[in-house]
Chain A
Amino acid sequence: MSDATITAARRSPLSAEASSLGGVTLTPGAPLLRLILRGAEAAEAADTAFGADLPRRPNRSATAGERAALWLGPDEWLLLAPESDAASLPASLASALAQAPHALVNVSHRQTAILVSGSGVEPLLNAFVPLELTEAAFPVGMATRTIFEKAEIVLWRTGSAAFHIEVWRSFAPYVWELLEAVRRENAAN
């Protein structure tokens, strides 16, 4: 890692404000530290260094305080942490994992979050997400990569009527606008 200090201001790709309509609240996610960890052998060391046990069960998540680890593949996790950890966590994880083969990539600038909540959230998401989103099929804590119309997203259920969408920032306005359009249509009916 270089010693040069570069501070890049993080601007949200979404210009809209949080708003509620027809029982659904859309909120642009606050900036987060996002890391992609690859390497099954590094998982055990990462458990302690990250503070939350990385889920080994497919499509599950684990949280500890404000940190969350989402299973994306059998040797792939998305680690989310508050921005205040941005200076220390990547380095401390990297040194904790030094003995195990792995890849740890900071993707904080690559993607952004859209938070969707409210009683009408399942039919709203199902306008573009082809998965079954009832609580029996997609329980709280489940997280998976999937598609949203033409965009690839990570969908994470954080509450019985609350979802966290991780989307690449160039796709974020597209996803937001589609959600907004269907939300307005559902509210009008």
Chain B
Amino acid sequence: MLLIRCPVCEMDRPELEFRYGGEAHIARPLDPSKVSDEEWADFLYFRTNPKGLHVERWRHTAGCGRFFNAVRHTVTDRFVTTYKSGEPRPDLEALARKLESAR
């Protein structure tokens, strides 16, 4: 079973306790009536869908119940790091280099 580190509980927990919450760091426009249709559609529907490291939200549903962010590799399903909501997005290129050198 996949173990995911919950940054709130500060421990590795089984994936069964978690729910996926979509891509992370997508801010809703502060004034929706001022953005163009294209920008609004982009906010609503378009996600990055990378092959590689993906920053996403997860919720520790059957645990502390909190949302947090995780960097997961979409090919290997490996969780590279997790961090609390509100913390800055990690440098993905540095993480990718670290993964590459650890091979």
Contact = CB atoms under 8 A, between A and B. Distances in A.
Interface residues of B, number: 14
A74 B66 contact: yes
B95 interface: no
State the main secondary structure of chain B at its contact with A.
Answer: loop
A128 B45 CA distance: 38
A144 B66 CA distance: 13
Given A58-B8, A131-B14, A144 B1 contact: no
Given A58-B10, A58-B11, A72 B16 contact: no
Interface string B17-61: 100000000000000000000000000000000000000000000
Contacts, number: 37
B65 interface: yes
A74 B85 CA distance: 13
B64 interface: yes
A59 B10 CA distance: 9
B16 A147 contact: yes
State the main secondary structure of chain A at its contact with B.
Answer: strand
B9 interface: yes
Interface residues of A, number: 13
A130 B14 contact: yes
Given A73-B8, A74-B8, A144-B9, A58 B64 contact: yes
B62 interface: yes
B65 A130 contact: no
Contacts of A73: 8, 64-66
Nearest to B10: A58
A73 B63 CA distance: 8
Given A74-B8, A130-B17, 7 more contacts: A58-B8, A59-B11, A72-B65, A73-B8, A73-B65, A130-B14, A131-B13
Interface of A: 58-59, 72-74, 76, 130-131, 144-147, 152
Interface of B: 1, 8-11, 13-14, 16-17, 62-66
16 contacts: A58-B9, A58-B11, A59-B11, A73-B8, A73-B65, A73-B66, A74-B8, A74-B66, A76-B65, A130-B14, A131-B13, A131-B14, A145-B62, A145-B63, A147-B17, A147-B62
